[in-house]
Amino acid sequence: MDGNAMIGIITFLFMMVMVFSGVPVFVSMLVAAFGGFIVLSGGDLTLMLTKFTTAPFDLGANYNYAVLPMFMLVGALAGETGIAEGAFDAMKAWLGRVKGGLLFAVIGSNAVFGACSGSSIAGNIVFGKLAMPELTKAGYDEKYSMGCVAASGALSTLIPPSMGIIMFCLIAPMSLSVGTALMCGVIPGIFTALMLCLTVRMIGQVKPDTIPPGGGPKIPVQEKIKSLRLLIPILILFGIIIGGTFAGFFTATVGGAIGAFAVCLYAIVKKMPFSKVCHCIWESATMEAGIFPIIIAGQIFGSFVAATGLADSLARTIASVNAPPFVIFFLVILLYVFCGCVMDIMSIIIITVPVVFPVLTSLGYSPYVLIIVLCFMCEIAGLTPPVGMNVFATANALRRNSSDVFKGVLPYFICEVGIVVLLIFFPDIVLFLPRFMGIPV
């Protein structure tokens, strides 16, 4: 491994030490990149000054990044206009009477809500507040119920439009189609929802006292069919955003703007107070303001990693060791779980992609499979202590102790890690839908 690559490794480790020491992620990346560029150029400040002055402007002027606040606004308004509540009520009408049915409804409505929110944290908060009172009243074990709420939020990362997938496509060091990447998440998302439902049944078999036998008032078929109308807003929104993007009528960025406009119109039709609309806009703006410095820092740090040739050197080193590709992938999974202990999902993507993505593509993995698997792994990492963001979002929404959620989420965590392994060995699960539609991947 050459000297530049060693500079890259040392700088990366220095950056990680700062992150684990509690220094904000974007500050850690900027400080590491600042020093790294100076060392790399032998004390010449020209390269560092060029990167630190051009990158923020280039990113701020990049039209593609407008997609992020648009989808944040869609998710915020979807939670406030009753779209999420409608999805839960519809699922509850069809599934509520079977054993584990209310948890099935949580999983199913999270999957449907993911089609307009794109944010797992939003799903954790919304369905935690909606479902937990009913789950507790029906006799479901609170610990495993909260774990299900936290884990099923990950479906928002797989079901389009996913904020994680969009971010990954923007950060990845190669040109990738956002529309194709979003399409690759559909089948894994449906499969994950089914496997989480199976996990609920298995918990009920192993610990019968945690899942009530079901029952309750019988709902006529006519009422069940009527409940499907509650899904119409989500289906229309999904059709507008994803259908238009896949059909080539507009880009994902324009799709986000159209989706935000559509859900704003829906809020007006629902006579949502103007103050709440303004609050959602402000909430989306503040979320974007929190993420964008990390994006800028990540791009600068990614430029430094590229300048050192670290990814290429790691790929050559791995090839010389003759380690099987799946062994390297498992090491990456462990890295993501480790990072999830202290970092939020967006930070994990921005920090790791410049190094990990080129190495794994050089081993023969499809870029689109990597996007889905690594984004999903970022969400799963959000279930790990001590700073699992999804667990803390659920605990804070419910005013519960996060340790109880961590205990309850364990079986779902194992299920989702198993799905990641399955997707690694059977990539056709990810690639089936775009191939079926004739899209090259």
Average predicted confidence (pLDDT) for the chain = 82
Contacts of 93 by beta carbon, 8 Å cutoff, 6+ apart:
219, 223, 224, 227
Q: At what angle do helices 367-381 and 428-436 cross, to 10 degrees?
A: 130
| Dihedral angle of Cα 420, 422, 425, 429, to the nearest 10 degrees | -100
pTM of this structure = 0.78
CA dist., res. 151 & res. 391, Å (int):
8
Enter the tokens of residue 410: 């364990």
Per-residue pLDDT of 63-80, as tens digits, reads 767 777 877 787 777 777
Is 196:148 a contact under the CB 8 Å cutoff? yes
pLDDT in tens, 272-308: 888 888 888 887 788 777 778 877 887 788 788 778 8
The structure tokens 């020209």 sit at 46
**Spatial distance between the Cα atoms of 433 and 439, rounded to a whole number of angstroms:** 9
pLDDT band for 107, please (50, 70, 90 cuts): very high
- The predicted pLDDT at position 414 comes to 93
Asked if pLDDT for residue 229 goes beyond 80, the answer is yes
Lookup: tokens for 188: 């894994």
Residue type, 13: L
Residue 240 DSSP class: I
Task: Please state the domain extents for the chain.
Answer: 3-436
State mean pLDDT over 154-178.
82
Q: What's the pLDDT score for residue 430?
A: 95
Q: Which residues, including other chains, have CB under 8 Å from residue 416's CB and lie 6 or more apart?
A: 151, 154, 192, 196, 376, 379, 380, 383
Which pair of tokens denotes residue 264? Answer: 């704003």
* 441 closest CA partner among 176, 191, 55, 156: 176
Distance CA 157, CA 121 (A): 10
pLDDT of residue 161: 75
pLDDT computed for residue 386 by the predictor: 61
Q: Distance (Å, rounded) from C-alpha 414 to C-alpha 417?
A: 5
The one-letter code for the residue type at 172 is A
Listed ranges 27-31, 238-242, 316-320, 397-401; the one with the highest mean pLDDT: 27-31
- Compute the average pLDDT of residues 25-32: 86
